[in-house]
């Protein structure tokens, strides 16, 4: 691998200021980089760890070998630095040709018309989406237009300590109701002397699953709030009561939660089960010597549309409209989606592959830990809905952060669930322009 191709960025505040000062110049040239020898150079940027970078670099090398007229320069870094730098580049019309997105950034860029309409490339045969499930593609559409592609597939799970559940004689992998869940949490608390589960009240993601089980969602397709203050007050009243009863993690642990295994209540032995996305299952297994497994969410409303689980992309790929080499960029996307060797190289670095044929091959060849994700996805396939009602609009990033900060006021006794819910809804409407 050429060391000149990969750029890893870290803290970029100073670089961001410098880039803004030349925004006018960069806006004029965009991402155009075609050379006299007929080779087109495109830039591909993402965030993630070194394992994701190594897998992506391998796939890029395969693409370059198959497309000698296209050179790919790659950039990656941590999430915060990546988003900060990308925000500046987008404003300067100088974004890379292929960018990695998440739900908040996709929602914002789709609404702001930053991304290329990929349907045009499907129509002309450059891009083949025939092996990607419609329920997964739905999450990367805005107003019926395909503006991004799923880099993989994930869905919600409850990851749990197998030994702790065997001790109380409960097997959550077969599905359970909320009443059964509550009973099990009490048994776990009695058995282990610690909380049964990691409090889910901190994350708007888990509130969204709770809402979907009630036929609602955090946001409407139009980008407004899809719930009432009373809905959030009910959710936070329940989570707060579970904490007060000793069934959910204490405030000091809950306030540290960020979805990572580093700060996980389960990994810290402060609970026996917690909610997350199954794309993180391998990370959980690697972070402990305890035997872990995945189970579906508790629900009183089974069914794909009301289970609270959906076929979601862990991350998205998009092409900015500022790209002067959009066709070459889309060719790279098509390769990442559909080439078997590229699929094998990427593995489950961004969730299970979106292409169902490649997914089957990757899962068949997966190691024991990665195969756990495949097995779980197969086991809940009939309970997983499409991703069309899980979109997040412009301003949702700040709502996500605010959600956790305001919940802290509940768990530390500074606000009632009702008052906190009123504050969140007011702030959220301001953030998204509601």
Residue 276 lies in a domain: yes
Q: pLDDT class for 111, splitting at 50, 70, 90?
A: very high
User: How much is the average pLDDT of 36-64?
Assistant: 93
Same structural domain for residues 197 and 326? Answer: no
**Per-residue pLDDT tens over the stretch 202-246:** 999 999 999 999 999 999 988 999 999 999 999 999 999 999 999
**Per-residue pLDDT tens over the stretch 255-303:** 999 999 999 999 999 999 999 999 999 999 999 999 999 999 999 999 9
Q: With beta carbons less than 8 A apart as the criterion, state whether 316 and 194 touch.
A: no
Following DSSP, what letter does each residue of 319-372 receive, concatenated?
A: -BTT-S-HHHHHHHHHHHHH-HHHHHHHTTBTBB-SSHHHHHHHHHH--HHHHH
Q: Which domain covers residue 235, as residue numbers?
A: 156-309+395-432
Residue 387 lies in a domain: no
Residue 390 lies in a domain: no
Same structural domain for residues 357 and 401? Answer: no
Same structural domain for residues 10 and 137? Answer: yes
Residues listed for the chain:
434
User: How much is the average pLDDT of 98-113?
Assistant: 95
Same structural domain for residues 205 and 95? Answer: no
Residue 386 lies in a domain: no
pLDDT at 14 > cutoff 60: no
Residue 163 lies in a domain: yes
Residue 388 lies in a domain: no
Residue 43 lies in a domain: yes
Residue 343 lies in a domain: yes
Contacts of residue 70, defined as CB under 8 A and 6 or more positions apart, other chains included, come to: 39, 40, 41, 42, 63, 64, 328, 331, 332
Q: pLDDT class for 349, splitting at 50, 70, 90?
A: confident
Q: What is the pLDDT of residue 49?
A: 82
Same structural domain for residues 420 and 280? Answer: yes
User: How much is the average pLDDT of 315-341?
Assistant: 98
Q: What is the CATH number of the domain that holds 146?
A: 3.40.190.10
**Per-residue pLDDT tens over the stretch 162-217:** 999 999 999 999 999 999 999 999 999 999 999 999 999 999 999 999 999 999 99
User: How much is the average pLDDT of 5-23?
Assistant: 43
* Residue 8, helix vs strand vs coil: strand
Q: What is the pLDDT of residue 35?
A: 65
Stated pTM of the model: 0.86
**Interatomic CA distance for residues 178 and 300, integer angstroms:** 6
Please tell me the total count of domains within the chain: 2
Same structural domain for residues 119 and 257? Answer: no
Same structural domain for residues 267 and 403? Answer: yes
Same structural domain for residues 211 and 80? Answer: no
Same structural domain for residues 272 and 409? Answer: yes
Same structural domain for residues 234 and 266? Answer: yes
Q: Which of left, alpha, beta for 351 (phi over 0: left; psi -120 to 50: alpha)? A: left
Same structural domain for residues 206 and 297? Answer: yes
**Per-residue pLDDT tens over the stretch 371-412:** 999 999 999 999 999 999 999 999 998 999 999 999 999 999
In the block, tokens 């991350």 appear at 315
Same structural domain for residues 85 and 107? Answer: yes
């Amino acid at each position: 691998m050429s060391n000149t191709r990969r750029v890893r960025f870290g803290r970029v505040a100073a670089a961001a200021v410098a880039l803004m000062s030349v925004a006018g110049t960069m806006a004029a040239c965009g991402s155009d980089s075609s050379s006299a020898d007929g080779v087109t150079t495109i830039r591909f940027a993402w965030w993630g760890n070194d394992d994701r970078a190594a897998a992506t670099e391998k796939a890029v090398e395969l693409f370059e070998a198959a497309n000698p007229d296209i050179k790919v320069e790659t950039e990656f870094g941590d999430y915060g630095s990546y988003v900060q730098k990308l925000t500046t580049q987008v404003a300067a019309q100088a974004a890379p040709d292929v960018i990695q997105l998440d739900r908040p950034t996709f929602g914002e860029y789709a609404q702001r018309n930053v991304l290329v309409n990929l349907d045009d490339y499907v129509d002309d045969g450059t891009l083949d989406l025939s092996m990607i499930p419609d329920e997964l593609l739905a999450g990367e559409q805005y107003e019926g237009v395909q503006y991004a592609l799923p880099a993989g597939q994930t869905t919600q799970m409850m990851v749990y300590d197998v030994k702790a559940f065997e001790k109380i004689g409960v097997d959550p992998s077969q599905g359970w109701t909320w009443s059964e869940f509550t009973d099990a949490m009490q048994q776990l608390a009695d058995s282990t002397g610690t909380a049964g589960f990691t409090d889910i009240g901190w994350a708007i993601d888990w509130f969204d699953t709770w809402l979907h089980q009630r036929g609602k969602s955090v946001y409407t397709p139009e980008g407004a709030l899809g719930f009432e203050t009373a809905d959030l007050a009910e959710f936070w009243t329940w989570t707060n009561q579970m904490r007060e009863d000793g069934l959910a993690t204490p405030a000091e642990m809950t306030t540290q939660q960020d979805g990572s295994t580093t700060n996980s209540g389960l990994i810290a032995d402060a609970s026996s089960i917690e909610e997350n996305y199954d794309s993180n299952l391998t990370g959980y297994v690697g972070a402990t010597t305890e035997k872990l497994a995945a189970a579906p969410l508790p629900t009183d409303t089974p069914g794909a549309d009301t289970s609270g689980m959906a076929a979601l992309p862990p991350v998205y790929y998009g092409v900015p409209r500022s790209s002067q080499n959009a066709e070459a960029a889309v060719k790279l996307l098509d390769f990442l989606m559909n080439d078997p060797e590229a699929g094998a190289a990427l593995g489950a670095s961004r969730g299970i592959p979106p292409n169902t044929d490649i997914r089957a091959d990757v899962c068949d060849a997966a190691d024991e830990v990665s195969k756990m994700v495949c097995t779980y996805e197969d086991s809940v396939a009939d309970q997983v809905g499409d991703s069309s009602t899980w979109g997040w609009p412009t301003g949702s990033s700040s709502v996500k952060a605010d959600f956790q900060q305001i919940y802290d006021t509940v768990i530390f006794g500074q606000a009632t669930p009702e008052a906190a819910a009123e504050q969140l809804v007011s702030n959220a409407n301001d953030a998204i322009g509601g």
